[in-house]
Amino acid sequence: MSPVEVDLRDARTFDRGIPHEAFARMRAASGLHRTPDDLRHGRGFWSVTRLADVVEVSRDPGTYSSEVGHIQMYDIDEDCLSARASMIDLDPPVHTRLRRLVSSAFTPRHVQGYRSAIRRRVRRQLDRIEVAGDGDWVTEVAAPIPIGVICDLMGVPEQDHDHLVELSDHLVAGTSSEPLPPDAYGNTTELRLLPFNSPAASAMSAYADRLAGRLRDEPGDDLSTQLLHAEIDGERLSPAEFANFFRLMIFAGNETTRSAMAHLALHHAAFPAAFGRVAGDRTLLGGLAEEIVRYSSPILYFRRTVTRHVELGGTPLAPGDKVVMWYAAANFDERAFDAPLEFRPDRPTTPTHSAFGGGGAHFCLGASLARLELVELLDEMFDRGLRLTVGEPSYVDSNFVNGIEHLPVRVDRDRRRPTTTNESTR
């Protein structure tokens, strides 16, 4: 292995978080970094590590396709691509038509309507961990808030939230070095046909079928009902299309924000001056949430496949080449960010980091919702004057998400601040 290389295909490369030094060497080298072919992943891939290159790829879906090939680094067969396709794996114009079905629910203005429901969930979870005095920040706070919010939106009853968290966790396990056994959850579908090659995906589809059955009989005021009744070119979504949509929304709305909230606790402990400053000046709350997302980069990468001859970052590319956009590298690009390893809630808003994607058609649909969830959590923590003492985090075994599985914390209040749980004016 050359000094530049770490094995980016191996989840263990990320078992202590982002490999900053290796990424810095890749950004500094001329051209794109190449990982060779191997049996598990198929053809090798080019790593895109500079922010400007991530933006270029993200904004040109005609040249860098999400639909041709796969959006993860390993290859899958043609029939698998169509079996698992949701909008994130499709190119415009089909992608655009699907996204339009749900986009109005995620505009910055619309998500403000979820604010008080989010705050209630935040308060409930913080009350619990405060009463206990210590616990696992992920299980008690970072996991239940985002799954609760996205399940409310999708019309999933509260008693099923834990089941969906569990399935969502197992989907990520499909990117790890120790995946679930093929027959888990009674699965009989060939793994290659399932998203993340995970049996949990078929359990999630079965759940989506049951939910659809219920909502067809008793429509609700939720996105699932909206999707079940929506028409594209005069046709409703098929059961498989609905299930793929549902799975994407649950996974994307849950795993990522949970990860950002888990890192939030680590940052809170690691950067007390930055957090203290925002506690005293809440106009910086949005900047703090943004810095947490940049610094944690919950999705490490997405892949695109090249459709024509083109040059990127000094490297000539040919049709069929795979490019892997490492958001976790681009977000620390020295060319784009002043002192990128410093944690600064008052960073300028441009350039924008790429943790929600580098812009363009697939830019994170839920970015405004995720930001709001983080702001509400931070604001409530500051209202309460919470102080977190964190233990050793255990990272999710994956090279795709920068997730934290468990994070022991002790929770106290800063006794110098005479605050109460009901202090917030929101």
Local structure of residue 184 (DSSP, 8 states): G
* H-helix segments, 33-134: 51-58, 78-84, 94-102, 108-111, 115-132
Token pair 């429901």 is found at 117
- Partnered with residue 45 across adjacent β-strands are 35
In the bound complex, what is the minimum distance in angstroms from residue 86's beta carbon to ligand HEM?
8
Q: Would you count residue 364 as binding ligand HEM (CB under 6 A)?
A: yes
Q: Give the Cα separation of 244 and 248 in Å (integer).
A: 6
Contact criterion met (CB below 8 Å) for 264 and 378? yes
In the bound complex, what is the minimum distance in angstroms from residue 22's beta carbon to ligand HEM?
20
Token pair 């009853």 is found at 157
Tokens of residue 355, six digits = 């943790």
In the bound complex, what is the minimum distance in angstroms from residue 77's beta carbon to ligand HEM?
22
Token pair 């809440």 is found at 282
Query: Of 86 and 187, which CB lies nearer to ligand HEM in the complex structure?
Result: 86
The string of DSSP letters for 282-327 reads: GGGHHHHHHHHHHHH-SB-EEEEEE-S-EEETTEEE-TT-EEEEEH
Binding mask 49-68 for ligand HEM (x = CB under 6 A): ---------x----------
Q: Give the Cα separation of 28 and 289 in Å (integer).
A: 28
Q: Would you count residue 362 as binding ligand HEM (CB under 6 A)?
A: yes
In the bound complex, what is the minimum distance in angstroms from residue 368's beta carbon to ligand HEM?
9
In the bound complex, what is the minimum distance in angstroms from residue 233's beta carbon to ligand HEM?
19
In the bound complex, what is the minimum distance in angstroms from residue 417's beta carbon to ligand HEM?
28
**Looking only at residues 222 through 251 of this chain, which bind ligand HEM when binding is defined by CB under 6 A?**
248-249
List C-alpha distances in Å: 399 to 80, 83, 141, 174. Answer: 21, 24, 24, 11
Local structure of residue 332 (DSSP, 8 states): T
Query: Of 35 and 259, which CB lies nearer to ligand HEM in the complex structure?
Result: 259
Contact criterion met (CB below 8 Å) for 319 and 307? yes
Binding mask 147-166 for ligand HEM (x = CB under 6 A): ---x----------------
Query: Of 74 and 363, which CB lies nearer to ligand HEM in the complex structure?
Result: 363
Local structure of residue 139 (DSSP, 8 states): I
Contact criterion met (CB below 8 Å) for 255 and 405? no
Query: Of 83 and 364, which CB lies nearer to ligand HEM in the complex structure?
Result: 364
Mark the segment that binds ligand HEM (CB under 6 A) among 126-134, 188-196, 206-214, 296-304. Answer: 296-304
Q: Give the Cα separation of 84 and 201 in Å (integer).
A: 9
Contact criterion met (CB below 8 Å) for 335 and 49? no
Q: Would you count residue 265 as binding ligand HEM (CB under 6 A)?
A: no
Q: Would you count residue 355 as binding ligand HEM (CB under 6 A)?
A: yes
Binding mask 366-395 for ligand HEM (x = CB under 6 A): x--xx-------------------------
In the bound complex, what is the minimum distance in angstroms from residue 421's beta carbon to ligand HEM?
26
Q: Would you count residue 105 as binding ligand HEM (CB under 6 A)?
A: no
Q: Give the Cα separation of 114 and 385 in Å (integer).
A: 24
What angle, rounded to 10 degrees, do the helices at 144-154 and 239-270 form? Answer: 150
Mark the segment that binds ligand HEM (CB under 6 A) among 108-116, 332-340, 355-363, 395-403. Answer: 355-363
Contact criterion met (CB below 8 Å) for 30 and 49? no
Give the nearest residue (CB) to ligand HEM.
366
Q: Give the Cα separation of 81 and 70 in Å (integer).
A: 7
64-65 vs 386-390, strand pairing mode: unpaired
Query: Of 149 and 191, which CB lies nearer to ligand HEM in the complex structure?
Result: 149
Task: Read off the amino acid at residue 277.
Answer: R
Selected from 256, 352, 398, 399, the binder of ligand HEM by CB under 6 A is 256
Q: Would you count residue 298 as binding ligand HEM (CB under 6 A)?
A: yes
Mark the segment that binds ligand HEM (CB under 6 A) among 206-214, 253-261, 274-282, 394-402. Answer: 253-261
Task: Read off the amino acid at residue 40.
Answer: R
Q: Would you count residue 19 as binding ligand HEM (CB under 6 A)?
A: no
Q: Would you count residue 204 as binding ligand HEM (CB under 6 A)?
A: no
Query: Of 44 and 92, which CB lies nearer to ligand HEM in the complex structure?
Result: 92
Selected from 97, 99, 214, 417, the binder of ligand HEM by CB under 6 A is 99
Selected from 11, 24, 260, 377, the binder of ligand HEM by CB under 6 A is 260
Residues that bind ligand HEM (CB under 6 A): 58, 87-88, 99, 150, 248-249, 252-253, 256-257, 260, 293, 298-299, 302, 327, 355-358, 362-366, 369-370
